[in-house]
Structure formats: structure tokens, C-alpha cells
Structure 1
Amino acid sequence: MSGETPLRVAFIGCGNIATRQHGPAFQTIPGVTIVAGCDLLPERAQAFTARFGGRPYTDLTTMLAAEQPDIVVVCTREDQHVEPTLAALEAGAHVLCEKIMAHTLAGGQAMLMAARRTSRLLGINYNYRFFPPLVTLKRLLTEGALGEIAFLSVTAHAFCFHHALDLLRWLGGEVVALTGQVSVAADPQVHYPVRCPDFVYVPSRAASVVVRFASGALGTLTATRYEHLTTRLLRLEVAGARGRLVVDGLTLDDIVGRLTRWPEGQEIPTGAGPERGFALSFQQADRAFVARVRGAETPAATGEDGYAVLLLERALVLAQTTGRTIALPSLTPVAEVGR
């Protein structure tokens, strides 16, 4: 019998990401019971609850009233995150929302304001924070292993671009300025099907970003749809006064890859077990969110983190259209939302 606080969990959106990743992950967390799956397509809700437990629903309001969940996991399309998140927060639930937090800056602000007003925890699923080499890299940087940091550099598949923006903030600290450019592919077949009017989100041909951190360090991020997820999700390098740390070898099938310290060429152990697949990051991210709900401090990304990444996304669009470097304080910063 688990000594953990019992928690009732409901899902909104019972498609691929719920069925393949979050559902199996939440099933393994002690003290957690999946009580409902809600989807506009009844067959999806029924299939989800037949596999993971709970009752199927097609109406969000009915589900929230009947089940009164402690946690709601929002797995709808990127342009359908705002309304279910607001409804769940107002119903008294903590919310874990898939990334991107919202498809507009105003939507992200509304979500953050609702979480603050209801005193509920809002989390955004930046599961790359839980890749074993990135967990170890974060610890080494916190310990000062490289001394003064000069730059962080990331190259990524376009599908990882938004995650990579979060990693820049998480590893490098607050961003004070950003500039960059975006190039659009001629072939509409490689354009991402979900539109986020205020943001780039998934660059088709390429996106390149340069940021300045509050520490004075610089960061770069380049992403393209022309990468291959089977050979590279992303590669990350941090250079400092005492050397470099490089994370590479990350793919959909292997999120352990390698963490190497240079100039020594020393591979750093990450403590990873035999499991190396992408699902491992969801297991760790979902456990970390539940631990936060229960009062622990974990690396799980908050609504404030999610909104801060939206600001970076918005700054890139403004940099592209104006040809200028955008000072992040010129946008509505996290601390000022709702004030």
C-alpha cells in the first residue's frame, strides 16, 4: 500500500500522446488513479479508458463535475490547449498541459492568470529536461564545473525547436535579448499542420536564434525540418572557462546518448539504467509533476516556464519582421502577467 497522497487523474484528449506516453507513465505512479478520459470522439475516450481505467466522456464540463479530478492532463492539439486548461483550473484541478503552452501569447497569459487566481499548479510538459545526460549537465553547471559560461549552442530537428528554447533557459538562465531569422520551406507538405499565429513553433526550412542571457553568456539555436529524428533529436554544447560539455547521440530510440567533457574527451556517466527510449522522459516528467503537486521541488516546468518560452517564441517573430534584436523586458514578462 502506497503512503503517497491518493490523486485522481483525468485526461482531456485521448489521442496518440495520451495513449502512447502519458497514460502508461501515469499508470506507474504510486497513489495515482486514472478516473476519466475525455475526447470529442467517443471511440477514442472509450479505447483510452478500456486500457487505462476510468470512465469515458465526450463533454469536458460533465467530466469535471462528475469526477472532480485532482489532476487534469491536457493532451489536445496545440491550438486547443487554452479552453480545457482554464476549465480544469477553475474546477479546482492541477493541470499538466502538453507543450506548446498556448497557440497565442494572450492564451498563455490567460492560463497563467487562472493558475495564480485559483492557486492551482500549472505544469507544461517539457520532458527533454529529463533526458539523463541533460539532468547530469544541469547538475554540473549548477556546481560550477565549467566556471564562467561563454556560450550554449544547440542544433535540433524542427520538432524539437520549442523544447530546445526551454533547454536554453533551463541551462543558461533568464534570457534578456533575442534576435534571429526564420526560413520557410517551399514545399507545403513539410509545414506543420497546426498554426500558432504568434509563434514559429515548428520551423519548416530553418530557424536560427541568438540569445543573450542575464549572466552575459550567449546562446545559439538552429533547427530544421530536414534533420532526421532517427539520427538526431538535438545536440547541445556548453563552453566555459574550464572546458566544454557536449551532449550528442540523442534519437527517438536513445535519449541517453553521450555526455562528454572536453578537452579531456572524458565520457561522463549519467546514471541511466537499461531503458533508453523516448518514453523514459515522459515517465520522469510526469512523476516530477505529481511530486510537485505533492509539495516537492522538482525540475518539472511550471506555467511560468511555459509562458517564458512563449515570450522567446514571440521575440523571434518580432526579430524576423523588424530585423532587430528584441529586448525581452519590452514584452509582457512573467512577473507582470495579470498585474
Structure 2
Amino acid sequence: MGKLKIGVIGCGTIAKFRHLPEYDANPEVELIAVCDLVSERAEAYGEQYGAQAFTDYQELLKVEELDAVSVCLPNYLHAPVTIDALNAGKHVLCEKPMATSREEAEQMIEAAVQNGKKLMIGHNQRFVAAHKKAKELISSGAIGRIYSFRTAFGHAGPEGWSVDGRNSWFFRKSEAFIGAMGDLGVHKTDLVRFLLGEEISEVGSFVETLAKEDTDIDDNAVCILKSESGIIGTLAASWSYHHADNSTIIYGEKGILRLEEDPEFSLIAQYTNGEVVKYELDKIQTNDSGGQHSSHVIDAFVSSVVNNEEPPVNGEEGMKSLNVVLAALESSETKAIVKTKETTALLQ
């Protein structure tokens, strides 16, 4: 098998910092096609990476030698474009949140199965060194039974880094569907599920627009989550933190794990016997870092295709993380605790 032939659909910030350079750096990949509605943008990246430039993704999907695509588009386009790509016989890496409804997510999963293709969702928090190490410590029983957690993901908002600034699709509800809760909160729902090794069963939340003017999209969310075994915790997502926060704390029977809270040590384990272990691991990846740290998402996707293995964050995993977000939106609307398995179709 020769190099994997890849196309990137959507050439905004996430493609600029993550997908394009990380595919380019992967020795098993040849980046052969890029697509963006803004022709100048598509042509500029096409020239930079030696790829054919398109403004219509349907035309890109007609390229027969293309093996796989990344879908880096506004949230409302994730499902239709992913399904079209799968039906065209391409493997797909889709940005998060994978869809805007459970129904869409199920259709994406079904399309992957029907076409025998890989579907992976771009949840990078699982690949962060501190998070992987914390998962090991929790799984090994090092901090005993987990009682509680708190996790937050906030920054000053997409206008600071989105290619279109304040005019970005992130602020248009018809295109984004969810604001901070979809942009950042879904990352943390995925991380909590990954760390605890179990599903979130109940959600209570406030999802509000507080900081951004002239938009009906949420910019602050605070949720209370309860897991299947009864672990409770909070999740905050915000576009109004002027100093970014991407921290998580796990409270257990034998100790506390502090993840990405200390600027120097990305994981600190504080045990009840007085022992403190500080781990100096690879820093978390951010868009502000200009992409100098790999997200590992692209490499994991490529590896799953090349080795014909199930992607580490497949469609089912993406849907389970999306379901928590859908439940949070429903809870905020109905002012009631929502069971994730019973999330209604109200939000579709």
C-alpha cells in the first residue's frame, strides 16, 4: 500500500494549525486535496501543500484516488458532509461536536458501517499526556474509588483565533447550533467519560449568553454531571475567561489528581498518606501555541486507517459525548435534571 491520499474540507483555523500541518508531517500521508468556499484560501493552502484546490466539496469527493478526508466545517455541516464522504467511499475524521442531534450522529455511524469505512471524531483531550497518565492511575486503583470531579475549559472566545474573527460562524446559531458548550464543553464531556471509564447518566445545567453581545449563542455553561455509578462533578465551559483554563481535578478515596492546573507540572497527584507526585509531562496542545505540539488526533486517525483498526474515538464514542451536551441544553431549557439516555428530539 502506498501513501494514504488525504483531503481536507474546510480551511479555517483548526485546519491551519492541526489537520494540514499534521497530515503534512505524517510520513504515511500524501495531502492531495483541500477545499474551502473562499477560493483564495483554498488556493493558498493548495499551493503551500502541493494539493489540488476546490471550492465545492462534492467535486473533491469525486477524486478517485482519495482515501480519506478531514471535515473541518461549521457544526451544522458535520453530518451531511461526513455522510456524503463516507458514501463516496472515503474514511472520515470529523471535528467535534460530531453533529447537532442524536439522529444525525446515528446516521453518520450507520453510513460508516454501510460503507465499511472508518469514522473518527476529533476529541484531542484523550491524547494529552497528563490525561493519559491520570487514566492509568485511576484504572490501576492508585487513588481508589472516585467520588467527585470538576473540569473546566474556557478562553476569551473564538474571535481571538477564528480565521473570520467576530464574523465567524461560531457566533451564528443556525451554523454553530451550540456555542461554548459545543466548542469546549463537548471536549470535557469526552474527557470525563474517558477518565472515569463510565457513562454520564444525568445532567443538570445552566447554559447562558452573558459575555458576547449581538449573538444568541451560549458563551457560558455550568453543568452538574452524575455518572452511572454515582460519581458527581461539575463541568464549566466559557468564552469569557480572559486567562484560559483547561483544568480537571479528580477527587478519590486515596488521593486527588490535578490535571493541567499547575503551569509547570501538568499532573499532580496528592495522596492521603501525604505523598505528592509531580509529573512534568508534555504540555496540553492549544491553538495559541501555533500548533507546535501535535494533537495526536491526526496520527491516530491515519494509524487506524493504515492498520485497519477501530479509531480510538469512533462515531459511537463521539455520539456518547454529544449526548451529554444535548442533555445539558435540554436541562437548561426545561429547568429539569435530564437523563442522557432519554434526551428528547427537541433540539434536532
Compute the TM-score of the two structures, normalised by the length of structure 1: 0.83
- Which residue number corresponds to residue 43 of structure 2? 46
- Which residue number corresponds to residue 184 of structure 2? 160
SS state at 2:66 partner: coil
Equivalent in 13, 30, 47 of residue 27 of structure 2: 30
Residue identity in the other structure for 2:267? L
Is 2:72 the partner of 1:75?
yes
Percent identical pairs in the alignment equals: 29
Residue identity in the other structure for 2:221? A
Residue identity in the other structure for 2:187? H
Is 2:219 the partner of 1:210?
no
Distance across 2 between alignment mates of 1:40 and 1:117: 29
Equivalent in 99, 111, 126 of residue 102 of structure 1: 99
Is 2:157 the partner of 1:132?
no
Kept after mapping to 2: 8 A contact 1:85/1:95: yes
- Which residue number corresponds to residue 310 of structure 1? 322
In structure 2, the CA distance between the partners of 1:223 and 1:57, relative to structure 1 (3 Å rule), is closer
- Which residue number corresponds to residue 185 of structure 1? 210
Residue identity in the other structure for 2:26? I
Aligned pairs for 1:257-268 (under 5 A) are 257-263=265-271, 264-268=275-279
Distance across 1 between alignment mates of 2:122 and 2:212: 30
Render the CA deviation track for 1:101-124: whole Å, top value 9, x for unaligned. Answer: 123333222212211221211111
- Which residue number corresponds to residue 91 of structure 1? 88
In structure 2, the CA distance between the partners of 1:15 and 1:320, relative to structure 1 (3 Å rule), is closer
- Which residue number corresponds to residue 61 of structure 1? 58
Distance across 2 between alignment mates of 1:301 and 1:129: 9
Equivalent in 105, 109, 112 of residue 112 of structure 1: 109
Kept after mapping to 2: 8 A contact 1:35/1:67: no
TM-fit CA distance, 1:298: 8.0
- Which residue number corresponds to residue 167 of structure 2? none
TM-fit CA distance, 1:281: 5.6
Kept after mapping to 1: 8 A contact 2:265/2:278: no
Is 2:21 the partner of 1:9?
no
Distance across 2 between alignment mates of 1:138 and 1:104: 29
In structure 2, the CA distance between the partners of 1:274 and 1:224, relative to structure 1 (3 Å rule), is closer
- Which residue number corresponds to residue 219 of structure 1? 233
TM-fit CA distance, 1:317: 1.8
Root-mean-square deviation (Å): 2.7
Distance across 1 between alignment mates of 2:216 and 2:343: 27
Render the CA deviation track for 1:311-339: whole Å, top value 9, x for unaligned. Answer: 11111122122222212222489xxxxxx
Is 2:291 the partner of 1:279?
yes
Kept after mapping to 2: 8 A contact 1:130/1:281: no
Distance across 2 between alignment mates of 1:50 and 1:289: 24
Equivalent in 315, 331, 339 of residue 327 of structure 1: 339
Unaligned runs of 5+ in 1: 193-202, 334-339
Compute the TM-score of the two structures, normalised by the length of structure 2: 0.81
Distance across 2 between alignment mates of 1:281 and 1:299: 21
Equivalent in 141, 144, 151 of residue 144 of structure 1: 141
TM-fit CA distance, 1:274: 12
